[in-house]
Structures are given as C-alpha cells and as structure tokens.
Structure 1
Amino acid sequence: MNWMAWTIPTAGFFSTIIAILTAMTIWELKSPSVERKGFLPITTSRGDRLFIGLLSSAYIHLAYLAITDATLWIATIISVIWMVIVMRWG
C-alpha cells in the first residue's frame, strides 16, 4: 500500500462511508424501506436518497474547491446539513 497516500482524513472518510453503508444495510434488513415522494422529482427509497446525498455532497465539495481556498470544513458542514435534508425530506 505504499503507492497510496493514506492520511488520517482519507482513512476517516472511507471509514465513515463504510460505516454508513453498513448501518444502512442493517437498517434495511431490520425495516425494509418504502419508496416515497419528497421534494426530489422522483420516488426514492432510503438507499436512493443516500446515493443522491453522497453524490451531491461530492459536487458541493468540488464546487467549494473551485470557488474558494478556504478550509474544507465549511463544505463538509454544508454537505452534512444537505445529507440530513435529503435523507429526511428528499
């Protein structure tokens, strides 16, 4: 693994994604989701909303990097708030 630049933030990021996917899998097995229509223009399940939220969070970070040189913690906070909104009302 010498070719990979593993830093604490990188390891934390991937560990968090793995933890989220594991928790969502257990939640889905315990309580299967029902598709519903929120503010998103399609009918979605919990997994769909998770995917949409993660993908749009990546775009939030990319846009933030394109616009400013400030710390990425601000983009991360915006992304977490966005994920909560999408998962709850999406």
Structure 2
Amino acid sequence: MDWMAWTWPTAIFFLVIASLLITFTVLAIKFPETPRKGVLQIETTRGDRLFITLLGSAFINLAWLGLTGWPQPWALVLCLIYAAAVFRWV
C-alpha cells in the first residue's frame, strides 16, 4: 500500500466501486433490462441510476464535510437513504 500512499479506507472505497461496476455488468448481461421513466421523467437504466447515486453521494459527503461537524458515518447513512430513493423512484 505504500507505493501510492493509499490508506485502507481509500482502498476499500475503490474496491467497493469496482465490485459495484462488476456486479452491475453481470446483472446487465444476465438480466437485460428496458429503460424506465421515474419521477424525473427521463429514461434510466440500472447503470444510469448507479451513476446518479454515486454522483449524488459524492455531493452529500462534500456538503456534510463542509457544513456539519458530525461524524462521517452519518453521511453514509444519508447516502444509503438517497441511493434507495434513486433506485426506487428515479
């Protein structure tokens, strides 16, 4: 881990992102999907909703760091709620 000055949390973060991408690729191959319209009235696929979730979660975490003094795990709880909402209604 010293060759890039990575920390274990950083490595875990990238492993989770890589595993999500692999999982969604396997799901797309095994269970082809048709785009659906949600509350935003745009057609999205599972991959689109994953991208929206990751992007929104990044903004949630940045806002959390800049605006609150609370521990970061609470931001992750908020991100999970956001992810559930995106996959359900977007």
Q: Does TM, normalized by the shorter one, top 0.5?
A: yes
In the TM superposition, residue 40 of structure 1 has moved relative to its aligned partner by 2.4
Q: Deviations over 1:48-72 (max 9, x none)?
A: 1110110000000011111012211
Cα drift, residue 2 of structure 1: 4.1
Matches within 5 A, 1:26-65: 26-65=26-65
The Cα shift of 1:23 comes to 0.3
2:4 maps to 4
Instruction: Supply the AA of the counterpart residue of 2:22.
Output: T
% identical aligned pairs: 48
AA aligned to 1:86 is V
1:70 paired residue number: 70
- Equivalent residue, structure 2, for 1:86: 86
Matched to 2:33, the amino acid is S
CA RMSD of aligned residues (A): 1.4
Structure 2: runs of 5 or more not aligned: none
**How far apart, CA to CA, are the structure 1 residues paired with 2:32 and 2:4?**
37
Off by >4 Å, runs of 4+ in structure 1: none
Distance 1:77 1:29 in 2: 30
What count of residue pairs does the alignment treat as equivalent? 90
TM-score, length-scaled by structure 1: 0.90
